[in-house]
Amino acid sequence: MRIKSLVLASAFAMALGTVGIAAAQDTPPAITPVACEEPGELTMWVWDENWATIIGEAINEWTTDYCPGATVDLQVQPWANYWELLRTNVAGGDMPDVFNMSQTNVGFYQENEALLDLQPYLDAAGIDTAVWGSGMIDPYRSGEEGDLYALPVNWDTIAVYYNKDLFDAAGLEYPTAEWTWDDFAADAEALTDADAGVYGAAVYSEYQAGWPNWVAATGVEPVIASDHTTCTLTDEGSLEGLNFLKGLLDAGYMPTISDLGGSSADDAFNAWLAGRVAMVAGGSWKLPTALESADFNWEVVQLPRNPETGRSRSIVHSVGYVGAASTDTPDLAANLIIFLGSDAGQRYFAEAGGVAPAAPSQQQTWIDAFGTDEVNIQTFVDALQDSQGVTVFDEVWNIGNTELPVNIFDLGMSVEEATALGCEAVDTAVAGM
């Protein structure tokens, strides 16, 4: 009896879950901005000129419809120097009121209480933070209550880009979202053509687009746990994921970093664009490049599922808007941030068609903005459902992003040795903080 009721209960829960998803797909939850109480002056930093143009348009709507009389000095800083510049300005006592933040960098500012707590403002505006997926916002939560300190601007997930022409030539069926690691390995083998210099796959490069996705599929948080202290590189799941990839490399189905010409995900992606690699793990941010530059037929599919857990998991990263704790006008800063994160503010990003907007209601607009029926862009939205938020941060970034893959996929170190070395480096970095 008890078993039966348990089964019934879980079936009921599943039905509810399905309904929940269906409802979400029919009418995505709305995020509605509110009018400001008192206009004033704000300075705001962004790190991308294209975004600055888009955000500039959004701000115009805010100053016209929601906060007449307010002015925003929108400054664009070079991405490559953004974080050093921010730390310089913070140390010099000159923090912008509102600025862009990433999940890998937010920890430092949260720990030092330098950010404005947005939770009270969200509560007052009646915005339920559940509208955003947990992978997008969890890294931006802090404190005992899990207050939210950043509103997501946009997100990106990872999928497998594959060359349909090479699949056809090898007589293979195209993969589906249900495919497993075993299917992936079999395809990689069949697609490899050593004489023609074609490799089956290149999927390990860097943190976000690379090997951590495979570790996440085993249920392990890659590199470091979300407590920001425990190294997970030597966990069983990490070893399983890395050994799977190392096996493909040793079998000759994947190129080494030296063969690719570099350890960046761009190097792998360029090899795919050049037809030298049949399948590559790539971010949603690569869609415009692929649409413009690939001179073969291609498609995207979700990462293959781990055979034991049955999970396909993508690393998700979301850029956020934050306010400075030191701002003279916290109410105004929070009001602007909420507007920029709302459906009204996000519409500008969705229509521009570059990065995917965080507001759920805007995602179809974003997909449509690419104007293609050839590629199933919805794949990247689907990848959000079971996604892994970023747990690494500046001090340990290189360890997982470059050092570990270089050791394993270029210098021929064993997974066990490289992960042990990696954990040593993580422990040193954590102890030094």
Binding site for another protein (CB under 8 A): 47-50, 75-81, 83-85, 87-94, 108-109, 112-114, 156, 257-264, 266-267, 269-271, 273-274, 276, 283, 285-286, 288-289, 292-293, 295, 319, 355, 394-395, 398, 401-403, 406-407, 410-411, 425
What's the chain's length in residues?
433
* Cβ-based nearer residue to another protein, 188 or 271: 271
Minimal distance in Å, beta carbon 247 to another protein? 21
Minimal distance in Å, beta carbon 114 to another protein? 5
* Cβ-based nearer residue to another protein, 112 or 229: 112
* Cβ-based nearer residue to another protein, 335 or 387: 387
Nearest Cα to Cα of residue 234 among 420, 427, 404, 430: 420
- HSE toward the beta carbon, residue 248, CA cutoff 13 A: 29
* Cβ–Cβ under 8 Å, residues 167 and 191: yes
Return the number of other C-beta atoms located less than 10 Å from residue 162's C-beta. Answer: 24
Minimal distance in Å, beta carbon 82 to another protein? 9
Q: Is 147 exposed, middle or buried (0-12, 13-18, 19+ CB in 10 A)?
A: middle
Handedness of CA 212, 281, 204, 265 (dihedral sign): negative
* Cβ-based nearer residue to another protein, 93 or 171: 93
Q: Which two tokens stand for residue 92?
A: 């010099």
Minimal distance in Å, beta carbon 116 to another protein? 14
Separation CA 297–CA 56 (nearest Å)? 37
Return the number of other C-beta atoms located less than 10 Å from residue 146's C-beta. Answer: 12
Minimal distance in Å, beta carbon 29 to another protein? 27
Minimal distance in Å, beta carbon 348 to another protein? 17
* Cβ-based nearer residue to another protein, 25 or 293: 293
* Cβ-based nearer residue to another protein, 237 or 323: 323
* Cβ-based nearer residue to another protein, 180 or 264: 264
User: Looking at the DSSP assignment, which residues form a beta bridge with residue 357?
Assistant: 154
Cβ-proximal residues to 111 (8 Å cutoff; 6+ apart), any chain: none
Separation CA 325–CA 191 (nearest Å)? 54
Minimal distance in Å, beta carbon 156 to another protein? 8
Q: Do strands 151-156 and 317-323 pair parallel, antiparallel, or not at all (unpaired)? A: antiparallel
